[in-house]
Amino acid sequence: MDNGRGFSMLAVRGAGMRIGYFDCFAGAAGDMIAAAMVDAGLDLEFLKGRLATLKLDKVKVEVEEVRRGGLRARRFVPSGVGGHEHHHRNIDDIKAIIRAGEIGDKARETAIGIFDRLADAEAAVHGTDREQVHFHEVGAVDSIVDIVSAAIGFDALGIEKVYCSTLRLGGGTVKAAHGVLPVPAPATAELVRGVPCAGGPIDTELLTPTGAAILTTVADGFGPVPEMKIESIGYGAGTLEAKDFPNVLRLIIGLAEEETEANTDTVYLLETNIDDVSGELVGATADKLFEDGALDVFTTAITMKQNRPAVKLSVICETGNAQKLERIIFEGGLTFGIRRQTLERSKLSREFVTVTTEFGDIRVKIGRLGEEIVNIKPEFGDCRRAAKEHDVAVKTVTETAMKAYDSER
């Protein structure tokens, strides 16, 4: 069934938020993402029709069914893209091609955003500006097709939120335009900064720059499969054929049971039990953890083996900062082991306004759930500073700041 937006297997969107989860146990590439979308329900003829408006001469797209490590999957095969088609294009050339196509406003915005991110990564690697980057592999016609196909798919499949597993990078080396490079390729490594990733499970390139650019641009979070009612599952095959290794990308599409208007992100919880160091060392380490970017640090009184009183040190941090903070804990001599958990966090959208009071300027934090203001609180640090300067109670300053906020609304 085709509803005019590119669905062939999925039901028309109902209540709830549609989410897509990419299971990247074998990495990801642009063609694997596009193939998984077709396998999950994106109508191939609809996609071909949109791609045809890009005016990329001699380029055609076919999808074939293959097997990878015993799994059935689809393979995305652009044809008519030979060595002579791999032009060197800059970001403006690519944007012109995308803007000229009739692919829909949302898909156009997504595709351009992906290429902007890719250009920034290439610029960082080569020490130049985005505008000076001349794409090689990633600027070739087949990669333009892959990225635009993915952008069309996100829109046509009605995917509102995207989540990913840890990104598998592979290992070894890869042959590129600039010679033999280590895996991950430099541009890929730049793209996955701050994102959960891991080497292996085999020594070959599994995550390509194009795949990394797509997923790190659109992903709302990284971690385990989120809670949802699964509607469709698609498998996109890579070019590697290995007997015992299924080189496929799995896309799971479903509806969230309950939609929240709060923002969500993925964080790590680091924890360790401590029973043989002084409280001074724990406190000093906690201060250092805050200084180096921990989102929160706290301790809980516990009892360990042999009824020894102890504390549990808990640290909440961004995924890209976990390794540095673990090192601080180890170097502080607090423990021989740290537990790590991946958590999804809901948080209010936040903004600050400054109000003028008789005690000086005070910032007021405003929390929104969607468009509704649900929490208002004067910034405690500002209130404490003002209270000390004017020799009054902190409560007096906070109440004055709230009155000032109410009067200025």
- The verdict on 302 and 238 lying in the same domain is no
Q: Say which DSSP state 101 is in.
A: S
**Can you tell me the mean pLDDT for 69-81?**
84
- Please state which of the ranges 82-86, 144-148, 219-223, 252-256 shows the lowest mean pLDDT: 82-86
pLDDT at 176: 76
Omega before 201 within 30 of 0, i.e. cis: yes
| Domain encompassing residue 340 | 263-347
pLDDT band at 80 (very low <50, low <70, confident <90, very high): low
327 alpha carbon, distance to own chain's centre? 24
Buried b (16+ CB within 10 A) or exposed e, 340-356: eebebeeebeeeeeebe
Say if residue 12's pLDDT is above 60.
no
Share of the chain above pLDDT 70, in %: 90
What is the C-alpha separation between 221 and 32, in angstroms, rounded?
A: 20
Using one digit for the tens of pLDDT, what is the confidence trace for 136-185? 544 568 889 999 999 999 999 999 999 999 999 999 998 877 688 899 99
- Which three-class secondary structure state does DSSP give residue 109? helix
- The verdict on 151 and 215 lying in the same domain is yes
pLDDT band at 132 (very low <50, low <70, confident <90, very high): confident
pLDDT band at 13 (very low <50, low <70, confident <90, very high): very low
Amino acid at 356: T
Residue ranges in 254-374 assigned as alpha helix (H): 279-291, 322-331
pLDDT at 10: 40
- Please state which of the ranges 11-25, 139-153, 264-278, 342-356 shows the lowest mean pLDDT: 11-25
Amino acid at 397: V
* CA-atom Rg of the chain in angstroms: 25
Q: Please name the residue that has the structure tokens 């906020």.
A: 405
- The verdict on 126 and 220 lying in the same domain is yes
Going by C-beta distance under 8 Å and a sequence separation of 6 or more, which residues neighbour residue 404?
355, 356, 357, 362
Going by C-beta distance under 8 Å and a sequence separation of 6 or more, which residues neighbour residue 308?
275
Going by C-beta distance under 8 Å and a sequence separation of 6 or more, which residues neighbour residue 399?
none
Sign of the C-alpha dihedral computed for residues 194, 199, 201 and 206 taken in this order: positive
User: Which of these three, 228, 255, 282, is where a domain ends?
Assistant: 255
Say if residue 7's pLDDT is above 60.
no
User: Which of these three, 320, 347, 374, is where a domain ends?
Assistant: 347
**Can you tell me the mean pLDDT for 311-320?**
92
Look up residue 34 and give its two tokens. Answer: 């596009």
- The verdict on 121 and 173 lying in the same domain is yes
pLDDT band at 2 (very low <50, low <70, confident <90, very high): very low
The answer to whether 209 and 121 are in contact (CB under 8 A) is yes
- The verdict on 249 and 286 lying in the same domain is no
- Please state which of the ranges 34-43, 138-147, 162-171, 301-310 shows the lowest mean pLDDT: 138-147
Confirm whether 200 is domain-assigned: yes
- Which three-class secondary structure state does DSSP give residue 208? coil
pLDDT at 4: 44
- Which three-class secondary structure state does DSSP give residue 81? coil
Domain count, the chain: 3
DSSP 131-200: GG--BSTTTSHHHHHHHHHHHHHHHHTT--EEEE-PEE-B-SEEEETTEEEESSPHHHHHHTTTS-EE-B
Q: Count Cβ atoms below 10 Å from residue 164 Cβ, excluding itself.
A: 23
pLDDT at 76: 92
- The verdict on 283 and 140 lying in the same domain is no
**Can you tell me the mean pLDDT for 347-376?**
90
Say if residue 123's pLDDT is above 60.
yes
What is the C-alpha separation between 96 and 51, in angstroms, rounded?
A: 14
Confirm whether 7 is domain-assigned: no
Say if residue 83's pLDDT is above 50.
no
- Please state which of the ranges 79-83, 237-241, 254-258 shows the lowest mean pLDDT: 79-83
16 alpha carbon, distance to own chain's centre? 22
Look up residue 323 and give its two tokens. Answer: 């390794």
Omega before 184 within 30 of 0, i.e. cis: yes
- Please state which of the ranges 10-14, 139-143, 150-154, 311-315 shows the lowest mean pLDDT: 10-14
The answer to whether 319 and 267 are in contact (CB under 8 A) is yes
Sign of the C-alpha dihedral computed for residues 222, 228, 232 and 233 taken in this order: positive
**Can you tell me the mean pLDDT for 310-320?**
92
pLDDT at 84: 45
- Which three-class secondary structure state does DSSP give residue 237? strand
pLDDT at 399: 95
Say if residue 81's pLDDT is above 60.
no
**Can you tell me the mean pLDDT for 45-65?**
89
DSSP 306-321: GG-EEEEEEEEEEGGG
Strand partners, 346: 264
Confirm whether 191 is domain-assigned: yes
Using one digit for the tens of pLDDT, what is the confidence trace for 259-292? 556 677 788 999 999 999 999 999 999 999 999 9
pLDDT band at 319 (very low <50, low <70, confident <90, very high): confident
The answer to whether 215 and 24 are in contact (CB under 8 A) is yes
pLDDT at 99: 93
Confirm whether 279 is domain-assigned: yes
Average pLDDT, the chain: 88
Say if residue 186's pLDDT is above 50.
yes
pLDDT band at 1 (very low <50, low <70, confident <90, very high): very low
- The verdict on 209 and 285 lying in the same domain is no
The answer to whether 399 and 355 are in contact (CB under 8 A) is no
What is the C-alpha separation between 354 and 365, in angstroms, rounded?
A: 9
**Can you tell me the mean pLDDT for 326-336?**
94
pTM: 0.66
- The verdict on 105 and 151 lying in the same domain is yes
Domain containing residue 391: CATH number: 3.10.20.300
Confirm whether 365 is domain-assigned: yes
User: Which of these three, 326, 347, 368, is where a domain ends?
Assistant: 347
Sign of the C-alpha dihedral computed for residues 5, 10, 15 and 16 taken in this order: negative
Residue 401's H or E segment, with its range, is helix 394-408
**Apex CA 108: angle with CA 105 and CA 110, to 5°?**
110
**Can you tell me the mean pLDDT for 90-109?**
92
- The verdict on 343 and 401 lying in the same domain is no
